[in-house]
Amino acid sequence: MISSMTGYGRAEKNINDQKAVVEITSVNNRFLETQIRLPRTLIALESKIKKLLSVKLHRGKVNFSLSFEDSVQPGSRLALNTEVAEMYYRVYSDLKKRLNLAGDISLDHFIGLPDIITAESSEIDLEKIWSGIESVCQEALDSHCRARLTEGESLYADFAARLNILSGYINRVKAQAGNNINHYRQKLDQRIKEIMGDFPVDQQRIAMELTLMAEKMDITEEITRLESHVANFASALTQENSVGKRLAFILQEMHREANTIASKVMDYEISELVINIKEELEKLREQSMNIE
């Protein structure tokens, strides 16, 4: 079943008494492009995460984020910077003395001051922490893929309906194709009468002209190829692998055949049907841009 390139997935897990939250979002893109946001201490895990994502995602612009609800990152601990605290105390004491201020200096004066309490990083075992992070990443990825497949099911229903409409137009073109040369003959006869009037006309020359034009205006091959492309498109929609690019190539060939038919026909009804075919092909193209 086809999969959309847009989706959202989320998962969370307690790792070392901290809640790790992974979110994955994606939008359309010609190729797979990943943007990964990690805590500073876990930057070295970026390559592992990219490899994990590429196993199931093949196209789309993917945004991955891993965060911890606690403000302290893994491998960090809070520490008091006594030197900075003493500097603040000396400044407060000097200010109190210079301005002759009343009251004592208390802990409340230090709350919220920058650089007094810092998070110090300690050595962490990335392989050990990856064993915990990998599972939550995989869970978020699975959730993301399910969302893509759900949207893909909706797109599949739309594709099936449009292919049915497209096949109907092609069948009508096939039924009308025999009138193409007849329409040309009528125009040719009318033009000859306007020019020649009652003068005799060489019917053999006219027959030769009609034979040559019948070959040039024959659209049987184009109709057959167009029908084949419709069948290939429908078959591609049932494949399990990434088919977005294949659908785009098939649609290019459909447009080429439709343009060739348009250049050959003189029958107004066929011309109108070709316009309808192109409209449906454009709608299919717009939808195919969402497919992985």
- What is the structure's pLDDT at 98? 83
Could you give the CA distance from residue 104 to residue 102 in angstroms, rounded to a whole number?
A: 7
Q: What is the pLDDT of residue 71?
A: 47
pLDDT given at position 183: 63
Topology of domain 7-73+125-147, per CATH?
Answer: Ribosomal Protein S5; domain 2 (3.30.230)
Contact of 23 with 140, CB cutoff 8 Å: yes
Strand 60-68 to strand 32-37: parallel, antiparallel, or no bridges (unpaired)? Answer: parallel
User: Model-level pTM?
Assistant: 0.68
Residues of the chain falling short of pLDDT 70: 70-77, 119-124, 178-217
What is the residue extent of each domain of the chain?
7-73+125-147, 76-121, 149-288
Q: How far apart are CA 245 and CA 248, in angstroms?
A: 5
In angstroms, rounded to a whole number, what is the distance separating the alpha carbons of residues 120 and 128?
20
pLDDT digits (tens, 9 = 90+) for 178-223: 666 566 666 655 665 655 566 665 566 666 655 666 566 678 889 9
**pLDDT score recorded for residue 104:** 85
Asked whether 24 and 66 are in contact (CB, 8 A), the reply is no
